[in-house]
């Protein structure tokens, strides 16, 4: 698409002053998702943080549905909500993590973390707005995020980053296995060391007889 055609297409869009029902729903769901994500990183109760994370990830899935990306939405639900959060909850239960308020869940670097988060959010919003300023999604047209379209884009345009991410995940898995085996070996060598009995004086030995 030429720049002139993109400008004319953007000019023909209703704009932000006359939003549609889908755009209003997208904004409301986005606000709920943002609030849930904010509570997730600020609460001191680990179980509540995991449950609010479910709300945030579910809100992202709804946003994908509103953008006609049904396949990405269901992947979001199955992988993140159905696997990652369940794994997190099982980890909290198996490690006997505190259920109530935990002072260890707070950090003294809140202002540094807030600064980094705001800078990252501003940079991300600026990059996305600058890259897709004149790009509009026809929400009344065919689905733009179907399995065929997503697979074609993934394995044609983004195949190199996809494979690089696979190698990165494989390296993380191998590193986790190496660290766990090293920790197990250290525990075994330290826990099975024989304990020598203190020497017994000759007089004590004769008295025992």
Residue spans of the domains in the chain: they are 18-108, 146-184
- The reported pLDDT for the residue numbered 57 is 92
Kindly report the CATH number that applies to the domain delimited by 18-108.
Answer: 1.20.120.1200
- The reported pLDDT for the residue numbered 66 is 87
Q: Which tokens is 70 given?
A: 């049904």
- pLDDT tens-digit profile of 124-168? 999 988 887 777 766 666 666 677 777 787 788 888 888 888 898
- Closest listed residue to residue 37, CA positions, set 52, 20, 25: 52
Q: Note if the pTM is more than 0.85.
A: no
CA distance 151 to 129: 25
- The reported pLDDT for the residue numbered 6 is 47
- Closest listed residue to residue 97, CA positions, set 131, 28, 132, 50: 50
Which residues in the chain land under pLDDT 50? 1, 3, 6-7, 10-11, 193, 208
Q: Which residues contact 7 (CB under 8 A, 6 or more apart)?
A: 134
- The reported pLDDT for the residue numbered 2 is 53
Q: Which tokens is 59 given?
A: 């809100």
- The reported pLDDT for the residue numbered 16 is 55
CA distance 177 to 186: 14
- The reported pLDDT for the residue numbered 33 is 94
């Amino acid at each position: 698409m030429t720049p002139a055609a993109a400008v004319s297409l953007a000019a023909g869009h209703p704009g932000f002053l006359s939003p549609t029902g889908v755009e209003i729903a997208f904004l409301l769901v986005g606000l709920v998702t943002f609030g849930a994500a904010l509570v997730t990183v600020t609460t001191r109760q680990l179980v509540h943080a995991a449950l609010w994370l479910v709300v945030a990830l579910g809100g992202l899935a709804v946003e994908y549905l509103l953008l006609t990306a049904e396949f990405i939405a269901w992947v979001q639900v199955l992988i993140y909500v159905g696997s990652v959060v369940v794994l997190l909850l099982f980890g909290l239960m198996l490690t006997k993590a505190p259920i109530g308020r935990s002072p260890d869940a707070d950090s003294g670097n809140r202002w540094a973390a807030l600064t980094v988060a705001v800078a990252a959010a501003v940079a991300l919003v600026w990059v996305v707005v600058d890259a897709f300023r004149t790009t509009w999604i026809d929400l009344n047209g065919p689905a733009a995020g179907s399995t065929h379209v997503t697979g074609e884009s993934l394995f044609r345009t983004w195949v190199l980053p996809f494979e690089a991410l696979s190698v990165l995940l494989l390296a993380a898995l191998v590193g986790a296995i190496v660290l766990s085996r090293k920790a197990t070996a250290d525990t075994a060598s330290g826990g099975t060391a024989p304990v020598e009995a203190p020497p017994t004086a000759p007089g004590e030995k004769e008295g025992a007889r």
